[in-house]
Amino acid sequence: MTDWNFAAVWRGIAEATPDREAVVCGERRLTFGQFDDRARRLAWHLAQEAELERGDKVAIDLLNAPEYLETFFAALKLGCVPVNVNYRYLADEVHYVVDNADGKAVVHGPQFSDTVKKALKRIQKPWRPFTLEAGERYEAALAAAPPAPEWEPAHQPSGDDLIFLYTGGTTGMPKGVMWRNDDLYVSLWRMGRPGTDPPDPIAAVVSGSIQGDEGRTISALVIGRDGETLARYDKQHVDDDERDLFRPGREGCAFELDGWRLALGICYDATFPEHARAAARGGAHAYLCPSSHTERSVVHDARARENTMYVVLSNHLGEADGRHLCGHSSIYGPMGDLLADAGPSDEGLAVADFDPQALAGLLAREQTG
């Protein structure tokens, strides 16, 4: 079972690429770093002023605007349940949704203040829902929140955290559906990418120097979600500048992820055709190669084309040890075609879909041709 949660995904992107654009609304722009921080600040305000706890419901009566997404994000950060309210609803319908959902807080647009006020007066519960109006009061609430080092939500987002979705028809009052985060995330993914599932977020490949009993190696580690090391590869081809400091690795390495067999190489390894070839003969579908190139690669597309497999190059960017590293982290298809390039100047991600049917077709044609 997967464990997708919208808040965890957005938070992860904010940590990895905080300057990447997240929200565009007219002239307004928010990066993922800004989006995450504003949602965190709103979560603090709702926790303090509305005394929200995990499982409490937060109704959102807003137009399509950044504040809508921020409130949705903030609720999930607290383990609360976001509840959509159609901005066209009148007082009867707003009352029904908030009352039916047991709403503890309502974040609304200034144009809906009178409607919300009328609706909440009719709530017959031991509490009166807390309200926050978008605009000056909303921005003041965010400004008053402590910075990130001083406060982060204690809740750890889970795929089991709920989202309420209400729909209104032509007859009767709105009807609500309770969605698990994981179920809704996977359903929306499948709508956008029919026939596929979101990738299992269990593995990251990181490279660095490791000191062992037999000496120091340049290594790549495959790290699981819980921090466990799933695989380790030691660079087999050390260059002239490295030989006095590092011992070469003795064998290749590949690991399985969602039915894909992924092989590892590091930097100079990729200049040796036999290294990638050994991975391909071992059944690898893709060759992952963290690097520190000062000039754009001319070998990774060749390794992909020679072996009919995907090649993923993760290359450093900027200045290091007096060298200018050129970036251009890239993904190449099994015919050597460039699928994605993160560019030479800014931090970023190269993202591409691996197509199992296309790869299988190419491999079958090779075997019969």
Whether residue 16 is predicted with pLDDT greater than 80 in this model: the reply is: no
Whether residue 105 is predicted with pLDDT greater than 70 in this model: the reply is: yes
Mark whether 59 and 155 lie in a shared domain.
Answer: yes
Which pLDDT does position 224 carry in this prediction? 72
Evaluate whether residue 220 is within a structural domain: yes
C-alpha distances out from residue 351 to 33, 264, 314, 330, 331, Å: 19, 18, 11, 8, 8
Of 190-199, 268-277, 335-344, the poorest mean pLDDT is in 190-199
Mark whether 82 and 215 lie in a shared domain.
Answer: no
> pLDDT tier at 17 (50, 70, 90 boundaries)?
confident
Mark whether 82 and 146 lie in a shared domain.
Answer: yes
Whether residue 137 is predicted with pLDDT greater than 70 in this model: the reply is: yes
Per-residue model confidence as pLDDT tens digits over 332-351: 999 999 999 999 888 778 88
Is the CB of residue 56 less than 8 Å from the CB of residue 80?
Answer: yes
Evaluate whether residue 218 is within a structural domain: yes
Beta bridge partners of residue 211, listed in sequence order = 216
Which pLDDT does position 88 carry in this prediction? 94
Q: Domain range holding 265?
A: 204-368
- 260-264/254-257 β-pairing: antiparallel
Mark whether 234 and 263 lie in a shared domain.
Answer: yes
CATH number at residue 216: 3.60.110.10
Mark whether 146 and 234 lie in a shared domain.
Answer: no
- For residues 6-14, give the mean pLDDT: 91
CA nearest to 14, candidates 86, 103, 77:
77
Mark whether 115 and 259 lie in a shared domain.
Answer: no
Domain boundary among 169, 192, 215: 192
Evaluate whether residue 198 is within a structural domain: no
> pLDDT tier at 200 (50, 70, 90 boundaries)?
low
Evaluate whether residue 351 is within a structural domain: yes
Is the CB of residue 217 less than 8 Å from the CB of residue 187?
Answer: no
Mark whether 171 and 297 lie in a shared domain.
Answer: no
CATH number at residue 48: 3.40.50.980
Per-residue model confidence as pLDDT tens digits over 45-57: 999 999 999 999 9
Domain boundary among 172, 192, 212: 192
Domain total for the chain?
Answer: 2
Evaluate whether residue 197 is within a structural domain: no
Evaluate whether residue 1 is within a structural domain: no
Of 38-47, 222-231, 247-256, 260-269, the poorest mean pLDDT is in 222-231
Whether residue 1 is predicted with pLDDT greater than 60 in this model: the reply is: no
- For residues 305-322, give the mean pLDDT: 90
Mark whether 218 and 347 lie in a shared domain.
Answer: yes
Mark whether 165 and 257 lie in a shared domain.
Answer: no
Mark whether 74 and 176 lie in a shared domain.
Answer: yes
Evaluate whether residue 262 is within a structural domain: yes
Mark whether 144 and 239 lie in a shared domain.
Answer: no
Evaluate whether residue 232 is within a structural domain: yes
- For residues 298-306, give the mean pLDDT: 94
Domain boundary among 146, 165, 192: 192
Mark whether 53 and 102 lie in a shared domain.
Answer: yes
